[in-house]
Amino acid sequence: MNRKSSISMGPGAASLTLVFVMLTISVLGMLSLLTSRNERRLGERSALVIEDIYQLNSEAEYIYGCIDGVLAGCEAEAADENAYYALASRRLEDMADALDDDTGIEESEESLSGNAGSTEPYQDVKDLLSGNVAITDFYIEDNFVAWTMEGGGRALELCVEILPSESTPRLKWIQHNLYVTGMEDDLWT
């Protein structure tokens, strides 16, 4: 009645265990490799999106500066508040007329003939927007200037308020909204 039960492994059991452990390590290694590759792709896509957003914001700030430059010239030339708003409206309308939906910006006939005052802000904006950012809308309503910029599958809607002359700053941000306008097909493949 004293039986000893012993479990013994056959001669191939150690080899089977070794093969199982090696397969497990190989599968975990492959999963690590796939995960790191996917994270690299995600990082590259994120960098592209961030670059596009920063480019839109940078160019929006540059246009803000151009508008501020136009207002500074108007402030220096205007005799009173009404003349300031009238001159600013006229010059900003010239700037709005210079914007073209297809090519980003073109100089208007008035700015080429010298009737619109300084053409320098228009040329600066034209030089700046020669890349992949386009202004699709630019308009003036009362003492507000609004524009929309598109690039990289995103749109930035902006609006500034023109403050009274001799105010510092001359403009105040009212709207600065970023929207996704379209998904790039190759971005997700």
Residues 147-160: tens digit of each pLDDT: 999 888 899 999 99
For the full predicted model, state whether its pTM sits above 0.75.
no
Residue 9 clears pLDDT 90, i.e. is over it: no
Rounded to whole angstroms, what are the CA distances from 101 to 38, 52, 122, 134, 140? 38, 19, 15, 7, 16
Give the domain extent around 173.
Answer: 43-188
Domain count, the chain: 1
70, part of any domain: yes
pLDDT per residue over 68-97, tens digit each?
Answer: 988 999 999 988 999 999 999 988 888 877
104, part of any domain: yes
pLDDT per residue over 156-186, tens digit each?
Answer: 999 999 999 888 899 999 999 999 887 655 5
- With CA atoms as reference, report the closest residue to 94 among 130, 133, 145, 56: 145
Q: Is the peptide bond preceding residue 121 cis, with omega within 30 degrees of 0?
A: no
Distance CA 91, CA 119 (A): 10
145, part of any domain: yes
Q: At what angle do helices 13-77 and 81-98 cross, to 10 degrees?
A: 130
First to last CA, the chain: 71
DSSP secondary structure code for residue 6 in this structure: -
Residue with tokens 């002359």: 165
3, part of any domain: no
10, part of any domain: no
172, part of any domain: yes
SS3 per-residue string spanning 20-52 = HHHHHHHHHHHHHHHHHHHHHHHHHHHHHHHHH
Rounded to whole angstroms, what are the CA distances from 63 to 88, 97, 133? 15, 15, 12
34, part of any domain: no
25, part of any domain: no
- With CA atoms as reference, report the closest residue to 94 among 73, 72, 76, 118: 118
